[in-house]
Amino acid sequence: MGRAVGIIGVGQTHHGRRTEMSYPDLVREAVVRVFDDAGLTPADIDGVVSGTMPSMMEGIALTHFYFADAMQAVGKPILKTETCGSTGVSIAQTAYYWVASGMADCVLAVGHEKMNEGNAQATMTTVVEPFYQRYFIAGAPGVFSMQSQMWADRYGIPEDKIRDAAAYISVTHHDSAFDNPYAHVKLRVSMDDVKNARLITYPVRLLDVCPTSDGACALIFASEEFIRKIGKKAAWVKGVGYRGEEYFFGDSDKGVWQSAVQSAKQAYDQAGITNPRKELDVAEVYNPFTFQEMLFYECFGFCGFGESPDLVLKGIFNRKGELPCDPSGGVLCTNPIGATGLIRVAETVLQVMGKAGDHQIPGAKLALSHAMGGVDQFNGVMIVGSEL
């Protein structure tokens, strides 16, 4: 695993429809907060990792140029990591490797998105090439709906059960968002509200889908030596996993989703985790769609394939359950895409440091964060713990 690496600062914007400020100011809000949280100044930073979604969504290309000043990165070494929706976790992993390799002692990682100034679905349609796939994969919901159907069919999960379980996830996450001061959508919804919401792409309905958010997130990664020197508490990186698969949607099995299975396995192996449901205290799963969240539970080994809807309905994954998932309200309530994966990491850092406030899972010591991207193609996992 190289040198031990810890995360010593978290800064998030208040995510939402931030029409009152410019995109660079939004980035600045997260960066100012991370320095406040870590008690450091930009002079302490050896390098900056920046990342976001494709230029079409930003309205500007190579965004590290535009945000150089807001990220306090002028005169600093810079890396620019982009892996589609999984960008956030890839940024975190880049910062991790920078410190683990010994090439830096203290690295700032910044992810950001001002989605209300762009067109996310139009951009995602251009991720697929113009010759074959673009005609029938318009935006994100189509892909994930097909995947949900494939999974339900594979394991013979009854339509009513899967619908109920997805609605349960929507209700509990929307409730959780009220306890997260940074969450975007705060809405009390009932099971019936979800099941009767406007259909987006069958079986996905409006309340099964994440919002369009403006937001940024910043974390500071540091070496063990640096952390000891400044005497800070840290969340220690225990495992990093990432996998990508074929570009053509039909080429790979999305029901037993290998990129998700193997990225989690790599992280578990590094962290020495053999029974994730028992050993993990909390998970921040990247869940832009309720149905897909259940598939992730299975790919990550929280339960067997086809079993998740029953366990969801038993409350195993809610905030008082055996393995609380997305106590922040998750992506379902907040999705500034380029920041979203990094927010998952940030939330696990807050949890293992005992700083998650009203959505704290008591005694959380080991936590999993995750992000997904591409044409249902990439999965990245990071595990942090309170102990080195």
Partner 1 sequence: MSKRVAIVSVAQNAGAESADNFYDQAYRVAREALDKAGLTREELGTVVTASSDIFHGGISCANSYYWETTGAFLKNASRQDGESLFAFFYGVMRILSGQYDTALVMALCKGSENPPNDACTLMFADPFYQRPVGLTETTAAALQMRLYMEKYGVTREQCAKVAVKNLDNARRNPYAHRKGDYTVEAVLNSGMLADPLTELEAAPKSEGMVALVLATEEKAKKLTDKPVWFKGYGSSLDAFFLGDRDLLNGQLGNAAARAYKMAGIGDPGKQIDLAEVTEPYAFQELMWYEDLGFCGRGEGGKFLDSGATAANGSLPVNVSGGVLANNPYVSRGLQRIVEATLQIRGEAGQRQVDKQVKTALAHGTHGFAGQCHAVAIIGS
Minimum distance of partner 1 from residue 372's CB (angstroms): 12
Choices 32-40, 58-66, 197-205, 347-355; region in contact with partner 1 by CB under 8 A: 58-66
When binding is defined by CB under 8 A, the residue of 94, 145, 348, 369 that contacts partner 1 is 94
**Torsion-angle region of 301 (φ positive above 0: left; ψ -120 to 50: alpha; else: beta):** left
Minimum distance of partner 1 from residue 21's CB (angstroms): 14
Q: How would you label 349-361 residue by residue, b for 16+ Cβ within 10 Å and e otherwise?
A: bbbbbeebeebbb
Minimum distance of partner 1 from residue 79's CB (angstroms): 5
**Four-residue CA torsion sign, 245, 125, 332, 364:** positive
The answer to the question of residue 282 lying near partner 1 (CB under 8 A) is no
The answer to the question of residue 65 lying near partner 1 (CB under 8 A) is yes
**Four-residue CA torsion sign, 196, 198, 201, 207:** negative
Please report, for residues 126, 210, 321, the alpha-carbon distance to residue 348 in angstroms, rounded to integers and kept in the order given. 32, 20, 17
How many binding residues for partner 1 (CB under 8 A)?
A: 65
The answer to the question of residue 18 lying near partner 1 (CB under 8 A) is no
- CB closer to partner 1 out of 182 and 286: 286
Q: How would you label 119-144 residue by residue, b for 16+ Cβ within 10 Å and e otherwise?
A: ebeebbbebbeeeebeeebebbbbbb
The answer to the question of residue 42 lying near partner 1 (CB under 8 A) is no
The answer to the question of residue 39 lying near partner 1 (CB under 8 A) is no
The answer to the question of residue 223 lying near partner 1 (CB under 8 A) is no
105 residue type, one letter: D
Is there a contact between 157 and 286 (Cβ–Cβ < 8 Å)? no
The answer to the question of residue 66 lying near partner 1 (CB under 8 A) is yes
- CB closer to partner 1 out of 35 and 98: 98
When binding is defined by CB under 8 A, the residue of 14, 80, 195, 232 that contacts partner 1 is 80
Choices 138-146, 155-163, 235-243, 291-299; region in contact with partner 1 by CB under 8 A: 235-243
Q: Which of 151, 157, 187 is nearest to 172 (CA)?
A: 187
The answer to the question of residue 377 lying near partner 1 (CB under 8 A) is yes
Q: Which two tokens stand for residue 162?
A: 């899967």
- CB closer to partner 1 out of 212 and 360: 212
* Rounded Cα–Cα distance for residues 265 and 249 (Å): 23
* Rounded Cα–Cα distance for residues 163 and 106 (Å): 46
User: 277: number of CA atoms within 13 Å, CB side?
Assistant: 15
The answer to the question of residue 102 lying near partner 1 (CB under 8 A) is yes
The answer to the question of residue 68 lying near partner 1 (CB under 8 A) is yes
The answer to the question of residue 170 lying near partner 1 (CB under 8 A) is no
- CB closer to partner 1 out of 239 and 276: 239
The answer to the question of residue 342 lying near partner 1 (CB under 8 A) is no
361 residue type, one letter: I
- CB closer to partner 1 out of 60 and 146: 60
Most distant CA pair in the chain, distance: 58
The answer to the question of residue 266 lying near partner 1 (CB under 8 A) is yes
Neighbours of 341 (CB within 10 A): 33
The answer to the question of residue 79 lying near partner 1 (CB under 8 A) is yes
Phi, psi of 279 (to 5 degrees): -80, -35
Neighbours of 365 (CB within 10 A): 16
- What residue ranges bind partner 1 (CB under 8 A)? 1-3, 48, 51, 53-57, 59-62, 64-69, 73-84, 90, 93-94, 97-98, 100-103, 123-124, 126-127, 129-130, 240-247, 258-259, 262-263, 266, 373-375, 377-378
